[in-house]
Amino acid sequence: MKRIHPKWLLCALLALTGAFLFLCLPGYKFAGLFLLGLGALIPTYHFLKDFFLRRVLTALLALCFVVLSITGGVIARSAKGAENPEVDYLIVLGCQVRGTVPSRMLRQRIDAAADYLTAYPDSVAIVSGGMGPGEDITEAQCMADALTAAGIDASRIILEDRATSTMENLRFSQALMAPDATVAIVSNEFHLYRAGQMAQMLGLQPKLIPADTEYPILLASYTLREILAVWKFHLFGG
């Protein structure tokens, strides 16, 4: 029986794992695509005999690696959060609600906001997010309900329930703030850099409060997606 070369076993493993993540685990789609891409490189290099084309492909891959590494480093640096975060307003960015229940990621943002509001009782929260597919209530209402259940007084919570994007989250929330107020943003750590850049475009100087993503592989998947979103934002705006 002819022995299968290890590189083809690796290719199959990457492809199967990537397909499983992409098709079966919604939060891991970008990790799945990344593994599928790695798996596709093996037969590409094997069947690409032209030396010049191989050099071009290698150069492109090296460039992609550098871009991914630098952008990922910038995102990671923003994820450390603010050293002195006490502010007038805390904008909590919305995320998916399943029916009336917060998704895992939204729950992490709610928990981070509750911890912050408990530590700084003079701060007011603006919970921002409209209603999307599969949601029976707005993301803002879901966050407000969860924060009051966590012991945060409802008088300290302002609902912004129209936004459908990060830029709208920030723009609509800004309209609810007193002039010259200080502000912080709560979101998952991978999202903070882009949210902070958008806030600066609106004239805000936000503190950044990270909500920890629960699983490292989930963080890696969303960071890959966020790298693309960061470049889209810088190239095309919004």
Which pLDDT tens digit goes with each residue over 11-40?
A: 888 778 878 777 777 667 767 777 778 878
pLDDT tens for each residue of 202-211: 999 999 999 9
Neighbours of 164 (CB within 10 A): 14
Confidence category of residue 67, pLDDT binned at 50, 70, 90? confident
Burial (CB < 10 A; 0-12, 13-18, 19+), residue 62, is: exposed
Q: Any residues with CB less than 8 A from the CB of 88 and at least 6 apart, and which?
A: 122, 123, 124, 177, 178, 181, 182, 183
Would you say 126 and 89 are in contact if contact means Cβ atoms under 8 Å apart? yes
Percent helix / strand / coil, the chain, rounded to 5: 60, 15, 25
Going by DSSP bridges, is the β-strand pair 183-188/97-98 parallel, antiparallel, or unpaired?
Answer: unpaired
The three-state secondary structure class of 6 is helix
Q: End-to-end alpha-carbon separation of the chain, Å?
A: 58
Q: Which domains does the chain have, with CATH numbers?
A: 89-213 (3.40.50.620)
